[in-house]
Structure formats: C-alpha cells, structure tokens
Amino acid sequence: MQKQIEGSRAVAESVALCRPEVICAYPISPQTHIVEGLGELVKSGELKPCEFINVESEFAAMSVAIGASAAGARSYTATASQGLLFMAEAIYNASGLGLPIVMTVANRAIGAPINIWNDHSDSMSQRDCGWIQLFAESNQEALDLHIQAFKLGEELSMPVMVCMDGFILTHAYERVDMPAQAEVDAFLPTYEPRQVLDPADPVSIGAMVGPEAFMEVRYLAHAKQTMALERIPQIAAEFAQRFGRNSGGLVRDYRCEDAETIVIALGSVIGTLKDTVDELRNDGVKIGVLGIHSFRPFPLAAVRAVLQGAKRVVVLEKSFSVGLGGVVSTDVRLALSGLQLNGYTVIAGLGGRAITKASLARTLRDAIADKLQPLAFMDLDWGIVNRQLAREAATRRSGPIAENLLRDIGTVASKVH
C-alpha cells in the first residue's frame, strides 16, 4: 500500500510487520520517532503479542534485547550516535553470543562537540563488532531492509544493524510502498533460535572461553559474515521477486558500465550523487556511482568487479578516521589490491554539513582532472581552521576549540554552503 509518511514511521510500521516480540525503547535523536511509533502500535493493541519496554539507557536496551533474544523472542531496538557508543559493550556481547537482534541506527555524528545531525561515524565506529551493517539509500529501502534483516539475522544467528541517515531519511516524508502483513509473513518465517534458555533443556550460555578456543569463536563469526555475503544478494533477490522492487543486496551500481571514474558512497547521498552523475554524463563525462548497501560484511569481490575497468575511484565518506582519513576508503583499497587506479577519499557531510550537487560536481570535476588531494575535505572552511591553529600557536590557554570556532563564524546554526 502506498503511503506518504515519515521515514521513522515507515520503519516502525515495517518492524511491526515483522512481528517483534520484545522491543526496547530509549530516546535519542534522530531515532526516537521510530520507537515512539512502535510504542503506539503496541499500546493500541495493533502489534501483539509484543512487550514494549521503556528502558533506562541504551546499555540496558541492548541488554534487555540480549536476554529476550536468548530466551527465544524476536527482539528489536533502535539507537544512534552516543547511544550506540553507550551500548558498545553489549553490542559486542550480542554478536559474540550469536543473538539475531535487529537494530535501527539512525546515523548521527558523535560528540564532542555534541551534534545531533547526520554522518556515519556512529555505526562505523562499531564496524568490527561482529554485527551485519546494512545501509539504506531511501526510506523505501530502510523499510525493506528491516524485513530482510530479521530473515538474514535469524538464519545466521547474527545481529543486524539497519543504518539509515538521521533526519535526512528518518524525518523525511516520502511515499513508500508498505507491504501487507500476509506478504511479510510469507517472506519471514517465525524465529527458531539456535540456542535458547528453556527449563525443559537447560543450557549454560556465555561461559568464559580461554586461548584454547577464543580465536575459533571469533573466526566462526567471520565465517557467518562470509555466509552473509552469499545470503544478502539471495535474500534481496527473493525480496525483489515477492515485493517487486530492488532493495538491499551488497552493492548497486549506477551508470558504471563504461565509467572511467566511479564514486563510492553509502546511504542517502547516493541519490544526490546519481543526479550529479547524470549532469556530468550530459557533459560527456564517463562517470558512475557504486552504492555500498552492505558495509559489514564488506563486499570486497563485488566492489572489485565493478571497479575493475575504471581509471579512478572517489570514495565519498560521511565518516572520518582521525589520524588516517577514510574509513570506507581503507576497505575499498583492500578490494582494489593489485589494481592500478587513482584513488581519492573525500570526507563530506560530517555533523550534518549539507552535501550539495554543486559541491559534488566541483569536487568530482577536480578528481577527474586529477587535481584533487588524495584526502580531501569537501566544503571545509579553511579560514576558521587556520585562525584556530594560529590562536593555539600564539596562546597556550586559547580556550575551548569548538566554542572558539563558533565565536569566529558568529553563528550557532550548522553552516550550509
């Protein structure tokens, strides 16, 4: 059914269609509308049987989900940013225990300075935690990925994060096609746990494992992610067959066939990139976009296959490994081992800095002319950066950094170029 609704509402309704049995809710922007929607669906009786638990922290949210999942209940929660970091210990625990919890991450920057707007720093900080990480390009895809996520996670007994851009997607009202309950029921089987806490068959879960088997346990987590590399495209194909649209999968390329330059990105910015690429194509530039929809497991072979014929690759990143550069770029580089390609990392959109078509076109034209720095920062205000560096060089006690910058630019709103 076609609906014109907020992204968060779409996700809430989609999660409800998956018949979760335990939902843990803790508010954090920009995720909050999702659990609000689910809370309403549970309280009104539309979603039942389901326990909706208002917990006291994100750490508790994940911990309650761990208990519920280990006791055989389909479990869901949602978070973002600081919340994701606050639950980090439990995130590793959930994957280590092999519990197929599904969690929406409404991607948001991490402080300090505190910032509620979108980038990918939060989920990418947890890239090694053993969770599958799927990235949505649109609200429709976010909705669809949740249905796929429960299926994937429960098959493999691994937890899945569905990442969607905070505000840009979560708060955008768009038309989405909401599946019917019967369709989802036919696609998603009931949860049959691999291990379950049950007095009828007592097991101990979560024992200490020493050097004799720890590496093997970790390898098995990797083996499951490798299996996910196979299952993700299969599940996306099954989904397409049943629901009539392409959502998910490992990667999706756009106008890459004869492209000399390929831009790699994740999430909603892919849409803006496609428009930019169309305009550049009109000018005769051979350029395409490769959207990565599964960040973990990282589809090395699929990325390599698309990039094989290209001359250069630009990785557009909404995340930043301070002291190194790109997070995704590092993975892409691994995919390109042995290939001779000019590679560029463009850090863009941190903390909600708008990524405009104009800036993208300018940056990509620089890349095509091979004039771009290997590590570029799109729309970075070098003026205030250099003035702050000068202040710090001149005065030891030069004051708090973020506050100095805000004073310098004379505004408290996020700056849009």
Alpha-carbon gap, residue 51 to 48, rounded angstroms: 8
Whether omega before 30 lies within 30 degrees of 0, making that bond cis, reads: yes
Q: What is the smallest separation between the CB atom of 281 and another protein, expressed in angstroms?
A: 51
In the complex with another protein, the residue whose CB is nearer, 48 or 407, is 48
Q: Please, which residue, 64 or 270, has the CB nearer to another protein? A: 64
Q: Give Cβ neighbours of residue 145 (< 8 Å, ≥ 6 apart).
A: 134, 136, 162, 247, 248
CB of 224 to another protein, least distance (A): 20
Q: φ and ψ at 105, to 5 degrees?
A: -115, 115
CA 190, 195, 197, 199 torsion-angle sign: positive
Find the shortest distance in angstroms from Cβ 93 to another protein. Answer: 5
For another protein, give the closer residue by CB, 89 or 257: 89
- Smaller CB separation from another protein, 36 or 51: 51
Nearer to another protein, 173 or 219 (CB): 219
CA 336/CA 342 separation, integer angstroms: 11
In whole angstroms, how close is the CB of 192 to another protein at the nearest point?
13
Please enumerate in sequence order all residues whose Cβ is within 8 A of that of 212, keeping only pairs 6 or more positions apart, or say none. none
Q: Toward another protein, which CB reaches closer, 192 or 198? A: 198
Write out the residues near another protein by the rule CB under 8 A: 21-22, 24, 49-51, 53-57, 59-60, 63-73, 75, 89-90, 93, 97, 197-199, 201-209
CB of 198 to another protein, least distance (A): 6
Instruction: Give the integer Cα–Cα distance in Å for 234 and 255.
Output: 23
Confirm if 106 and 30 have CB atoms less than 8 A apart: yes
307: nearest Cα among 344, 272, 259 = 259
CB of 164 to another protein, least distance (A): 25
CB 219 to another protein: min, Å:
17
The radius of gyration of the chain's CA atoms, rounded to the nearest angstrom, is 22
Cβ burial of 78 (10 Å; 0-12, 13-18, 19+) is buried
End-to-end CA distance of the chain: 38
Q: How far is the CB of 356 from another protein (least distance, A)?
A: 42
State the Cα torsion 79-82-84-88 to the nearest 10°. Answer: -150
C-beta closer to another protein: residue 206 or 374: 206
Nearer to another protein, 213 or 324 (CB): 213
Nearest to 79 by CA among 30, 22, 121, 128: 30
